[in-house]
Each structure stands twice: as C-alpha cells, then as structure tokens.
Amino acid sequence: MQLQIEIPLQLTIDIQNKKIPIQELTSALKGIEAAILGRVLEEIDSVLISSMQKGYGKNDYHKHSKEERTIVTQLGKTTFSVTRVKEKSSGRTFCPLYNLIEFDERRLYQPDIAAIAVDYALSMLKESRQRLERITESPSHLTIWRRVQELGMEGEKESFEYESFVSADGTKLHVNPNSGSGKLDVKVIAGRSVIVGVNEGYREMKENHDIKAAVVGDADKDLSCFEERQIDLIHVWREVNYKLWQHGVDLETRKRYVNEVKGILLRLKNSLDKSDLKSRIKKAEKALSEFAEEMESKGYWRVSRFFKRHMKNILLFAYKRLEGIAIPWHNNWMERLMGEIAKRMKNKWMSWSVRGARNLLNLLLRRYAERERYESFIRELVGKGYMVEVKFQV
C-alpha cells in the first residue's frame, strides 16, 4: 500500500530591515516537525476513511465520531483528529488509523521518547529529564522510571548465550527502606550475553540457565557450584596478602611472599604458547605446593589451606590450554562491568527494591556488555529499525 499526501505549508516571516541570525530562524522553526506530523496523520486518516466509502447505500462503514489525540514524540507535542467509524453489520466502532499506525496504546509519550529517556536514565535519572527537554517535552521522573521497569522486564526474557567460559562477580546495593532493610545481593554472570540475579545464588542462576561452562571469578566460595572454575590470578595474590595479614605478618614480609606467588603464576601465564607447557604446569604446581608447605610450617595455615583447596582452580587456565581451549587468567572485563554498576547504582543516597534493581541492571548490563544488541533494541523503539520508506519533496 502506498499513500501520497499533499500538505500545504505557509510560513510568515516578519523581516524588519535587518539581518536575521540563523539561530533565530532555526529556533522559530523548531516544532514545525510536530505540526507536520499531526497533519500527516490526519491526511492518512482521511485517505483511509475515503477508501472505505463504496457509494450511496453500499457502505459497510459509517463515520461515527471525531476524537482528538495528543502524543509526544521526538519531534515534539502533536495534537491531531482521528475518525472513528461504525461497522453496519456488528455495530462495533473503531479507528482505521490505529490499524495502520502503531501507537503505544493510549499513552501520551510514544516509544521513541521512552527509548531516549531510558537510554539517558541509564546514566542518571535526574539528568535524563534535563537532557530530554533539550529535544522535546520530557516525561516526569516517575514516567521515565516506569518505562525503565517495563523495558528492563522485556530484556529479562532473552536466553543466555555463552561459549567455553563465563565470567562472574557480585556486589551489594542498599535496600529501599520501603522494601525492607539491609543489603541486596547482586550476582552477575556474563558470556556472550549477560544475566543478573538479585538475592539469587550462583547455583540457582546456573541451574535456571543450564550453564555448563567453566567460570572465571574471584575466590567467592559460592562459585564452587561450577564444575570447573578459574580463580582470577590477581585475586590469588590478594588472598595471599589478606590471609597473611590475618596472621599478623608485617607489610614487608607480606610483599615478599606475594611477589613469590606472583612470579610463579606470571611465568606460567607467559608460557602458554610454549611447546613444553605441560612440564611448565607441573613445575608451577610443584612450586606452589612447596610454598603452601612453607606457609604450613610457619603457622600460616590460612594461606596453606587456600592453595591446597584451590590448586586446580588457580591453574585451570593452563590445563585448559593443553586441551586447546582458551580461558582468561583474569576477570578484568567483569571488574569494569561492576564499576559501571557502582557508578550508576551505588551512590550514597541510592536505595533499591529487588524488582527495581533487577530491571535497571538488565538494561544497564545490556548496554555495556551487549552493545550491538542494545543499540538494535533502542533503534527499533526510536524508529530506525523498520524498513519504511518515506519520500518527500519541498
């Protein structure tokens, strides 16, 4: 179906024998797009109604009434008339325009404004309204937040995708006083896509999404629910330092021991492409076992116990390379992802409900970790995802 619409345009410019700054002219024309949109919708409505008229006595549909509709889009606020018709046989009434043009139900703010508002709100809710007002009339903070919740729930429906490994980390958020007290426990697992759990354990998330890959993360004991686990090497020497501190070891001695462990692991990390990798792994494992024995003999049982429990989890990245599978020895990407969460959700005055936190996190993590999918999602809502060709001549 192709519609050809002609809209008369008349502009009156008051020229007062002086130069008109271009910015004044552009400012005066601001909003003309919204007026044109209203006329275009009315003309489409008129064409649709005319196409339903078959001649005197032959019409199945009759004009019933006219109603006014106001919407806000990225072009601005638009008010236009819509014709309601009545079906002769059934008596039902409807608006043909709504069968052709998809609006966001009876809402004032349409999907493009919702998408732009939500995109801004992922940075900061208060700033989002100020930034949006530079484009068009902005929804209230409550409306923007409600759209964040709706779109966040949509993002939760997609399946989780991963390859040979997933990354995991967690953080805490303040609980909204109206929802309870204490902290919200946030867990994030990332593969090719990202999933988030609020007050859910890793085991529950793993079972719900049927995750069978190795996990890369910190020394959190909850990650032991994964069959294969790589502890971020940076966290290994952090654990050594912390456990030595628990035993009252002075700073200089702690540094010496940490550097010893760091040297063993970094030498192995730099040997992954060597032909004798298998023997190098055995050598590193032996060195770490001897280090654990030394810690045991000196009474630093926490350090010794850590290595005895997690030797395989510390060296998994090297053993996997022997199988031709590459998994990272660090979790830096996930650490940066958690930094994005902290910037947006862990300010001093912020507090969250379980549902509110989960929905915002679904969008925030998608924007950071699945940029291409997120951009496609926003483009579709803003109106750049459908192949609708509109030609015009001025």
Per-residue pLDDT tens digits for 259-300: 999 999 999 999 999 999 999 999 999 999 999 999 999 999
CA–CA gap between residue 252 and residue 317 (Å, rounded) = 30
Domain total in the chain = 3
Q: Do 280 and 197 reside in the same domain of the chain? A: yes
Same domain as 176, residue 136 = no
Same structural domain, 236 and 326? yes
Q: What percent of the chain has pLDDT above 70? A: 87
Whether 326 and 180 share a structural domain: yes
Domain presence at residue 68: yes
pLDDT of 149 strictly over 70: yes
Cα(169)–Cα(223) distance, integer angstroms: 9
Q: Which domain holds residue 191?
A: 165-334
Decide if 96 contacts 49 (C-beta within 8 A). yes
Q: pLDDT tens-digit profile of 210-232? A: 999 999 999 999 999 999 999 99
- Does a structural domain hold residue 1? no
Lowest-confidence range among 82-86, 95-99, 113-117, 182-186?
Answer: 113-117
Query: Which residue would you say has higher pLDDT here, 84 or 57?
Result: 84
- The confidence score (pLDDT) of residue 387 equals 47
Only one residue has tokens 């043909």, namely: 96
Confidence band of 85 (pLDDT split at 50, 70, 90): very high
* CA 18 – CA 67 distance, rounded (Å): 44
In a domain, 203, yes or no: yes
Domain identity same for 269 and 377: no
Query: Quick one: 318 and 201 in the same domain?
Result: yes
* Whether residue 298 sits in one domain with residue 277: yes
Lowest mean pLDDT among 24-33, 62-71, 283-292, 319-328: 24-33
CB 370 within 8 A of CB 193: yes
Q: Encoding tokens for residue 282?
A: 């055995």
**Residue 341 carries which side chain, given as an amino acid letter?**
I
Task: Kindly report the number of other CB atoms within 10 A of residue 118's CB atom.
Answer: 24
234 and 377 together in one domain: no
* CA distances in angstroms from 298 to 127, 138, 188, 291, listed in the order given: 56, 66, 38, 11
With respect to residue 389, please indicate whether it lies within any of the assigned structural domains. Answer: no
Whether residues 279 and 255 share a domain: the answer is: yes
Cβ–Cβ < 8 Å for 86, 60: no
* CA-based nearest residue to 201, from 219, 176, 214, 220: 220
101 compared with 27, residue with greater pLDDT: 101
**Does residue 393 form part of some domain?**
no
Could you give the angle at the alpha carbon of 161 between the alpha carbons of 160 and 167, nearest 5°? 90
Decide if 342 is inside a domain.
no
Could you tell me if 173 and 352 are in contact, meaning their C-beta atoms sit under 8 angstroms apart? yes
pTM confidence score: 0.72
Q: Do residues 359 and 229 both lie within one domain?
A: no
- The pLDDT of residue 389 is 56
Contacts 24+ apart (CB under 8 A), 153-161: 153/359, 153/362, 155/359, 155/362, 155/363, 155/366, 155/377, 156/358, 156/359, 156/362, 158/193, 159/193, 159/209, 160/189, 160/191, 160/193, 160/195, 160/209, 160/211, 161/191, 161/192, 161/193
Handedness of CA 272, 275, 280, 282 (dihedral sign): positive
Q: At what angle do helices 111-121 and 371-382 cross, to 10 degrees?
A: 140
State how far the alpha carbon of 219 is from the alpha carbons of 28, 188, 232, 377, in Å.
Answer: 61, 15, 8, 35
- Is the residue at 294 inside a domain? yes
Q: Are residues 233 and 141 part of one domain?
A: no
Whether residue 216 lies inside any domain: the answer is yes
Residue 392: per-residue pLDDT: 57
Return phi, psi of residue 215, to 5°. Answer: -115, 140
Q: How crowded is residue 271: how many other Cβ atoms within 10 Å of its Cβ?
A: 18
How do residues 314-336 score in pLDDT, each as one tens digit? 999 999 999 999 999 999 989 98
Q: Are residues 85 and 212 in the same domain?
A: no
